Structure 1
Amino acid sequence: MNFDGPFNSFIASRGLIPMHASVFRRLPFFENTLDIVHLMHVLRNWIPDAMLDFTLFDIYKVLRPEGLFWLDHFFCYGSQFNETYAPMFDSIGFRKLRWNIGMKLDHGIDKNEWYFSALLEKPMT
């Protein structure tokens, strides 16, 4: 799908498939079929925890062993990250290749808003 965004054209020009899918539905792929899943500005704290957990397991399921899950700009509050999201990501089973957390600065420091980005790999076993 192309919503008039240059990002989709960039992806398609490299032989990949840009796709917009709802996080409230299962991914339309068989198990162990994808090499990479990239999510940008989609997963964030507005998604109920149970649904986010289900979505992460669904991503894990469709990735091949050694497949990459690139999560970009996951937004949350500082207390949410430490209490909810960090343990949730740890429980899925991905291997951490890159894990960055940074304060969101466009609304001011006093709001304790954070962005989280990660590059995670599905292990061979």
Structure 2
Amino acid sequence: MSPTKGAQPRYFARIEREGPWWCVSFRDLPGCLTSGRGRAEALRMAADALATWCAGIPPLRLPRPTGPAAGEVLVTARFNRPPHPLPPACGTRFLAPLAARWLNKDGDWR
């Protein structure tokens, strides 16, 4: 993981079915847990949970991943990025109309 190119942490996760839910846990990352209604959704949620867990830690300080155990899958962190970069002069005059597009008629976020 090079800090100059941007880190994309990859860890092995255990995925288990519990009723209608699929639960995902990371053996190397204590407290990093998530679930989804289907296997595909659980894996998407696992990528987001991994990114959230790793967000506050410098890339070179992350725990070293161990090898896979039986039944584990490799998950790569998915960091969300805006679809386009914001212009350098992002003042209130620019952000207010942009934020208004994402509000529904009740004033809640979509």
TM-score, normalising length: structure 2: 0.28
- Structure with greater helix percent: 1
Q: Which has the larger radius of gyration?
A: 2
